[in-house]
Amino acid sequence: MLFRYLSVVAAIGAIHLVNVNLVRANLSSNQNTYSSAERESPNLAQNQTERDKPRWERRRGRFIEELGLTEEQQNQMREIRQKYRSKLSPVREKMKSTREELRNLMAGTATESAIRAKHREYLELQQEISKLRFESMLEMRQIMTAEQRQKFTELMQRRRERRGRRYRGAL
């Protein structure tokens, strides 16, 4: 059972690495698509097309547009994201180092109990991240109207469906 879990973790890590490399390659190739006149133009940043923006920025823009958030709601959401980003960041870093330690334990001569203890630590960190995400969603929920909450639920369902299709054949 532990071997299967670690195989899945390794596969997810490999997929993540491939995605990161694809994004980097895409970014570097996109940087070279402008002519020298366009690169030197002071208005290039102002005239940046939707396609040239990072994917997360395009998604957030569509998300805000589809929900119909007011400027005040957007500011409140931004504050919540910043608040939880500062809480999530150290937990993610700890999770990253714990995952690496677990890999090293598995590759080395560690005892089964040491490996299990490190695995429990990793699971606790995952749970902490899940809890923080949930808390942030509850705070964001308080800002939205009933109609926006309904629309938010629909958007999240579509997102889950897309993710399911994307990863279905990956493992």
What is the C-alpha to C-alpha distance for residues 31 and 19, in angstroms, rounded to an integer?
18
Q: Which residue has the higher pLDDT, 31 or 144?
A: 144
Asked if 124 contacts 91 with a C-beta cutoff of 8 angstroms, the reply is no
Confidence class for position 38, pLDDT limits 50, 70, 90:
very low
Model confidence pLDDT, tens digit, residues 41-97: 444 454 455 566 555 555 666 777 888 889 999 999 999 999 999 999 999 999 999
CATH for the 37-152 domain, from 1.20.120.1490, 3.40.640.10, 3.30.10.20, 3.90.950.20: 1.20.120.1490
> Residue 58 has what pLDDT?
57
Phi, psi at residue 22, to the nearest 5°?
A: -65, -45
pLDDT tens digits, one per residue of 105-148:
999 999 999 999 999 999 999 999 999 999 999 999 999 999 99
Name residue 102's amino acid: L
Q: Looking at residue 68, what is its pLDDT?
A: 87
Domain ranges of the chain: 37-152
pTM over 0.85: no
